[in-house]
Structure 1
Amino acid sequence: MPIFIYCGDDNYAIHRSALTLRSRTVEPEWLAFNYSVYSHDNLNAALEALEAALSPPLGGSLRMVWLANTTLLSQYPPPLLEKLQQTIEKLPSTTVLLLTCAKVDRRLKSSQLLLAHARIQEFSLIPSWRTEDLWQRVLDVAAQVGVQLTPSAVSVLTEAVSNDTRALYAELEKLKTYAAQSEQPLGEKVVRELVTSNTTTSLQLADAIRTGKTSQALTLLNDLFNRNEPALKIVATLVTQFRTWLWVKLMVVEGERDINAIATAASVGNPKRVYILQKEVRPLSLKNLQHTLPFLLELEAALKQGNPELMTLQTRIIVLSQLYAKG
């Protein structure tokens, strides 16, 4: 009696995984009979889903019942607990029961009951300041989709989609179609031409500051605020990115040529990314990078003290951008 729980805030990843589970469970010709989705969080929908889970499959070998966006693991009416207990006890081996939700409250009796019998998998959006994890995510999904990318192309795509899983898959499918007749990895130029960047990211802001483009940096900052991006989250991404650039520049200045050693020092998980980072820091002065990190940490402290967010960020970003414009 397999029971699965998919939870988290990456809704698109949850949806894709649910469809993958469906394709492994129910034969296509029997989908109309052996696959049911209950997407409402009211009591009747939950009761109907649990009742359907007890039914044997028609014709095919397995039945799948998906209770989507359920509150069963965060709150539940008392009558549901008894029905849930009965369902788990009688659930046939021919039924796959999937529950998806945003979060699981492990204190609830319903959650404890399900977790004792279910396999749980979490799907969380990667925070935008964890640039290394975002870069690796692009690599992993590209391999899954079947698209080869150069390290510089991975950086461009990471910057364009940030942590938007839906956009990442959509852009990679587009790139896959383009590269159908080629065995060579797609490069930065092709990705820039084909990938749509509808979302301003803090990584783009970091690049604008690094290249001394004050006007562009301020425009990107305003875009981020218009999308209600938290100020501290923006600063966290800038700190992470400039810290990485600082370590790479420091290692290069000291004469280190071992890519793996540079990757280790800069906390870069994939050494191939070091080539891109070396290119980015080549025109930068070590002194400016050393000045930037404490400057950003002071900015973070100022925001935590309650200073006006937009004005504080604008002032500091102008200073940093002008610093890098001077070289």
Structure 2
Amino acid sequence: MPIYLYWGEDDFALEKAVDSLRDRILDPQWANFNYDKISQALPDAVITALNQAMTPPFGSAYRLVWLVDTTICLHCSEELLAELERTIPAIPESSVFLLTTRSKPDGRLRSTKLLQNHADIREFSLIPPWKTEELLKKVRQVAQQVGVKLTPAAAELLAQSVGNDTRQLWNELEKLQVYAGIPKGLPAAPDQAGVSQEDAIALEVVAALVTSNTQNSLQLVSAIGAGNTAHACSLVADLIGHNEPALRIVATLIGQFRTWLWVKLMIESGERDERAIATAAEIGNPKRIYFLRQEVKDFSVHQLTLTLPLLLELEVTLKRGADPISTLQMKVIELCQLYQ
């Protein structure tokens, strides 16, 4: 299919997909002649991209035209829509037309519906920090691509450590690849779930080599839940000192407290079925409910209910440009007092 639409906020994963498509499509000897990267910010960017896509490639292989940060799936004039409807079905098989955007396409627009009929649409959204099973699945998927074998415990720790930061995940796995002496470009490793302890990188190696900012964010959650103000403020300083983005810290806090609230609400309502609790809390593995029960037993629904508005207020304040460390520490003190 000559038309692709990639969208989502996971910039690194999207860039990797674009690189893979470019390497697959273009003949290296003719790449300079057959590759056009066009920014939406340029005048008549869409028309220019469509014209280039209609141009036959030089030499062998294909032409690749990449329209970056397109807005046609968010708003599209009647004149531009008419041009899209005329040109997109006629793009030759020798050209590949790629459109990328961080925003979710508006399914109500005719331009989006046109692409749904003619394009291969792929989503590159960030996995919510609280969806631990999806994060673990992503670790196994990328580890297989890199060629690194991990024990189940090592894969879980890596998922906890990097969270939904795809760039860090690749960087850490490439670091582990070097440690294990695995040459780049080897065939992918087999399914990580079936890796033997002898062949795989162990938990201890991941703990020693992997930067664990997200794990420290989870430690911050625990410190707040314990009402330990001094330790919580120290963890905030450590996280900011290690260049962990403040909004990512907040996302981890919101995710964990949200999970705790759902589990506590279900328990308080008398629900005993772990699968039902897991479904309500969006937890992929019902076996985690046993441990979550222990974590929330000393909390009240009232405490957890008051926590989320405070965290949302913190998120808004940071997005307005407040100083990260002082803002985080002030709100962390307020949260710790709630759990004392």
In structure 2, the CA distance between the partners of 1:135 and 1:314, relative to structure 1 (3 Å rule), is farther
Q: How does 1:20-35 map to 2 (within 5 A)?
A: 20-35=20-35
Contact 1:69 1:101 (8 Å CA) reproduced = yes
Q: 1:60 aligned to 2:75?
A: no
Contact 2:224 2:335 (8 Å CA) reproduced = no
Residues 88-109 of structure 1: per-residue CA shift (max 9 Å, x gap): 1421111111101122122333
CA distance in 1: counterparts of 2:308 and 2:213, whole angstroms: 31
In structure 2, the CA distance between the partners of 1:293 and 1:315, relative to structure 1 (3 Å rule), is same
Q: TM-score, normalised by structure 1?
A: 0.74
Contact 1:131 1:241 (8 Å CA) reproduced = no
Equivalent residue, structure 2, for 1:5: 5
Q: 1:194 aligned to 2:209?
A: yes
Equivalent residue, structure 2, for 1:254: none
Equivalent residue, structure 1, for 2:259: 240
Q: 1:220 aligned to 2:235?
A: yes
Could you say what secondary structure the match of 2:200 adopts?
Answer: coil
Q: 1:152 aligned to 2:153?
A: yes
Shift of residue 305, structure 1, vs aligned partner? 11
Residues 159-197 of structure 1: per-residue CA shift (max 9 Å, x gap): 321111111111111111111269721122211222234
Q: How does 1:1-327 map to 2 (within 5 A)?
A: 2-103=2-103, 104-180=105-181, 184-197=199-212, 202-208=217-223, 215-221=230-236, 227-228=246-247, 234-240=253-259, 269=284, 286=294, 289-292=296-299, 294=301, 296-300=303-307, 303=310, 313-317=332-336
Could you say what secondary structure the match of 1:291 adopts?
Answer: coil
Contact 1:202 1:237 (8 Å CA) reproduced = no
In structure 2, the CA distance between the partners of 1:72 and 1:266, relative to structure 1 (3 Å rule), is closer
Contact 2:226 2:336 (8 Å CA) reproduced = no
Contact 2:89 2:118 (8 Å CA) reproduced = no
Shift of residue 221, structure 1, vs aligned partner? 4.7
Could you say what secondary structure the match of 2:181 adopts?
Answer: helix
CA distance in 2: counterparts of 1:109 and 1:129, whole angstroms: 35
Higher mean C-alpha displacement, 23-32 vs 51-60:
23-32
In structure 2, the CA distance between the partners of 1:304 and 1:139, relative to structure 1 (3 Å rule), is closer
In structure 2, the CA distance between the partners of 1:218 and 1:318, relative to structure 1 (3 Å rule), is farther
* Unaligned ranges ≥5, structure 1: 248-260, 323-327
CA distance in 2: counterparts of 1:208 and 1:241, whole angstroms: 14
Equivalent residue, structure 1, for 2:270: none
Shift of residue 68, structure 1, vs aligned partner? 1.4
Residues 21-71 of structure 1: per-residue CA shift (max 9 Å, x gap): 222222233222222211333343222211110011222132221111111
In structure 2, the CA distance between the partners of 1:301 and 1:20, relative to structure 1 (3 Å rule), is closer
Instruction: Kindly provide the amino acid, as one letter, of the partner of residue 133 in structure 1.
Output: E
CA distance in 2: counterparts of 1:211 and 1:145, whole angstroms: 39
Contact 2:261 2:304 (8 Å CA) reproduced = no
Shift of residue 319, structure 1, vs aligned partner? 6.8
Instruction: Kindly provide the amino acid, as one letter, of the partner of residue 299 in structure 2.
Output: T
CA distance in 2: counterparts of 1:29 and 1:70, whole angstroms: 29
CA distance in 1: counterparts of 2:43 and 2:68, whole angstroms: 13
CA distance in 1: counterparts of 2:69 and 2:54, whole angstroms: 20
Contact 2:65 2:98 (8 Å CA) reproduced = yes
Instruction: Kindly provide the amino acid, as one letter, of the partner of residue 159 in structure 1.
Output: Q
Could you say what secondary structure the match of 2:299 adopts?
Answer: helix
* Unaligned ranges ≥5, structure 2: 183-196, 267-272, 318-326
CA distance in 2: counterparts of 1:13 and 1:43, whole angstroms: 28
Could you say what secondary structure the match of 2:66 adopts?
Answer: strand
In structure 2, the CA distance between the partners of 1:40 and 1:312, relative to structure 1 (3 Å rule), is closer
Shift of residue 217, structure 1, vs aligned partner? 2.6
Residues 74-122 of structure 1: per-residue CA shift (max 9 Å, x gap): 2245543333223214211111111011221223332222222112111
Name the count of aligned residue pairs.
301
Q: Percentage identity across aligned positions?
A: 38
Could you say what secondary structure the match of 2:164 adopts?
Answer: coil
CA distance in 2: counterparts of 1:212 and 1:147, whole angstroms: 40
Contact 1:130 1:237 (8 Å CA) reproduced = no
In structure 2, the CA distance between the partners of 1:99 and 1:306, relative to structure 1 (3 Å rule), is closer
Instruction: Kindly provide the amino acid, as one letter, of the partner of residue 317 in structure 1.
Output: C
Contact 2:232 2:332 (8 Å CA) reproduced = no
Could you say what secondary structure the match of 1:292 adopts?
Answer: coil
CA distance in 2: counterparts of 1:285 and 1:228, whole angstroms: 28
Shift of residue 300, structure 1, vs aligned partner? 3.2
CA distance in 2: counterparts of 1:141 and 1:264, whole angstroms: 30
